[in-house]
Structure formats: structure tokens, C-alpha cells
Amino acid sequence: MRARDLAVGYETVSVDSDALEAARLMAEHKLPGLLVLDEQGEPKAILPASQMIKVLVPAYVIEDPTLAAVVDEKHADRLCQALAGRRVGDCLSSKAAPPPIADPDDTALEVAALMAQVRSPLVAVAERAKDGTHLLGVITASHLLHELLGAAGKVTPT
């Protein structure tokens, strides 16, 4: 199996996309994260769902998790207001690394190694050309696991 064969169409957002809409997209499609594209449409970062949740949680609760027990449900229901007026770029970690990008000819093992090395829930598959990077699709960790287990006869392949 090559990366081009494993890649599937996947939801993407731009750094300027509305953060609340991006969160809805993750929630409605049960996505582990989103591929974030820059202004030229090239892969810029991965926004994991866990990072989006971190944006929702007040900093004082992150610093002292015991405070979460004293926040009443009325206030907890308003957590998503933290995304109002924000862009996806505002939600990216300041330490966000460039997204892992696999070459279309990479093997499943090469993709798995890349995913494991950077601990990313997804890997972009793209061709690099003189005029930029052309996104072919994305491979999620769950899809890769399914394909690898299928090849080993442990699950029915798709």
C-alpha cells in the first residue's frame, strides 16, 4: 500500500476560518483534528481536537484542575463562547510544528513511522512541485490502523 492509495478526502480549514465553525466541523464529523491550510492553500498545521478543547478551558482551570469542580454547569455550558470571534490561527499552539506530509509513493510503514514520530492523529499526503504543494488527501491514524490490521488479516479491509 502506498500513501496515495491510503489518502482520502478530508475536511480542511484555513488559518482565517472561524474557530467556532471549525469546532462544529470536528464535532459533527467526529474528527481527531483538522488540517489547517495557509493563505496559499498549502498544509500549515494540524489542529488536534484536544487543542480546540484546551482553548475552551479557562487558563486558571488548566493551571489548577481542582477548580473545575467548583465551576457550575451554567458556566460550563458557556465554554464555547471562548471561540466566538476567533480564527483557527488563534487556536493553534504557539509550538505548532508544520504538519507531517507524506510523499504519495511512501509505503504504509513509512506513513506509520512518520505519524508515530510526530505523534499526529493525521498525515497529509501531497505532491511537492515547483509551483507549491498539491494536497492529495489525508491519512488518519484510525484509517491507517484499519488498513494495517486488514493486511494482517485481523480485520476486514475496506
> Which DSSP string do the residues of 95-127 spell out, in sequence order?
TPPPPPEE-TT-BHHHHHHHHHHHT-SEEEEEE
Which sign does the torsion angle of CA 126, 144, 90, 22 carry?
A: positive
pLDDT given at position 156: 64
pLDDT given at position 151: 78
Q: Report CA dihedral (82, 79, 93, 89) to the nearest 10 degrees.
A: -40
pLDDT given at position 79: 81
> Where are the chain's structural domains?
3-151
Residue 40: which of 137, 140, 139, 135 has the closest Cα?
135
pLDDT given at position 49: 92
Ordered per-residue pLDDT tens for the chain, 158 residues = 899 999 999 999 999 999 999 999 999 999 999 999 998 888 999 999 999 999 988 888 888 888 888 877 776 667 888 888 999 999 998 888 889 999 999 999 999 999 999 999 899 999 988 887 889 999 999 999 999 888 777 766 55
* Residue that is written with C-alpha cell 513509512 in the block: 110
pLDDT given at position 77: 64
Instruction: Show the cell assigned to 154.
Output: 485481523
pLDDT given at position 123: 96
pLDDT given at position 76: 60
Q: Which fold has domain 3-151?
A: CBS-domain (3.10.580)
pLDDT given at position 78: 78
- Provide the 8-state DSSP code for 84: T
